[in-house]
Amino acid sequence: MTAVLYRLVYMSRNDITDEIDTQIDGILKTSRENNRLAEVTGALMFNTGCFAQVLEGPHNAIQATFERIQCDERHSDVTVLLFEPSNKRSFSSWAMAYVGAQESALERFGNLGDESGFEFTALDGDDIYNVLLDNLHDAEAQ
């Protein structure tokens, strides 16, 4: 019997002010490693204002990952939008994308999606993801 899959969707405020490139890079690297070991998949979207993350995996793996993320000082005001069992994974691996319109940031992060294998098609058709994208656009810091 395979463990029940859970899906978590949360948003938080991006508190990174310095060296955002390296910080984001670091998050991507550790997440990729840790999540693979824990059988957690999902996606992290961000812009200069906020983070939005989807995590999929066994309950306790999600819990443990979330606890680690919660203690991270690089973000705050964490709001959970969804936490429930789900019957399939929307993301087959761990992906990350910059979601914003800021020109300067686009240049810096725009190619992250290609690098990490983020496919926006994974988000198609699910209301929660559309809400996420709307929120992300609203929260982009000037």
Partner 1 sequence: MIDSVPQLEALATGIAIINGDNVIVHANTAFARRLNVDALPYRLTDIDLPEARSRDLLEWQLRDIGESALTVAIAPGRSLTFYIGAQREGQRLIIAASGWPHRDESTRDLAAQLDPLTGFGNRLMYAERLREFEAMGTKAAAVLIIDLDHFKQVNDTLGHGTGDELLGLVAQRIRASTRGNDTLIRLGGDEFVVLIPEEKHCEGLEALAGRLVNLLGRPFLVNGHQINIGASIGVATLVGDSDQLQDLLRHADLALYEAKHRGRAGHYVFQSPLEQRAFDRREFEVDLRRALGLRQFTLHYQPQTSIADRRVTGFEALIRWEHPTRGRVSPLDFIPLAEEIGEIAAIGRWVIRCACEEAMAWQDERLSVAVNVSPAQFADDTIVDAVRDALDHSGLAPARLELEITEGLFLEESESIMRRLWAIKELGVAVAIDDFGTGYASLGYLNSFPFSKIKIDKSFIQAEPSPRAKALISGILAMGSNLGMATTAEGIETLEQYTQLEHDGCSLAQGYYIARPMPAGQIADFLERFCPPTARAS
Ligand X SMILES: Cc1cc2nc3c(=O)[nH]c(=O)nc-3n(C[C@H](O)[C@H](O)[C@H](O)COP(=O)(O)O)c2cc1C
Q: What are phi and psi of 4, to 5 degrees?
A: -65, 135
* Residue type present at position 12: S
CA distance 104 to 77: 25
**Coil, helix or strand for 55?**
strand
Q: Using the rule CB under 6 A, which residue among 13, 59, 74, 89 binds ligand X?
A: 74
d(CA 100, CA 140): 7
Residue numbers at the binding site for partner 1 (CB under 8 A): 6, 8, 10, 59, 62-63, 66-67, 70-71, 76, 78-80, 83-85
Q: Is residue 44 close enough to count as binding ligand X by CB under 6 A?
A: yes
Choosing among ligand X, partner 1, none, which partner's interface includes residue 67 (Cβ < 5 to 8 Å by kind)? Answer: partner 1
Report the residue number, 67 or 103, with the smaller CB distance to partner 1: 67
**Residue 47 binds ligand X, judged by CB under 6 A:** no
* Count of residues near ligand X by CB under 6 A: 15
Nearest to residue 91, comparing CAs of 62, 118, 131? Answer: 118
Q: Is residue 91 within a helix (H) or strand (E), and if so which, with residue range? A: none
Which residues form the interface with ligand X (CB under 6 A)? 12, 27, 30-31, 34-35, 44, 51, 53, 65, 68-69, 72, 74-75
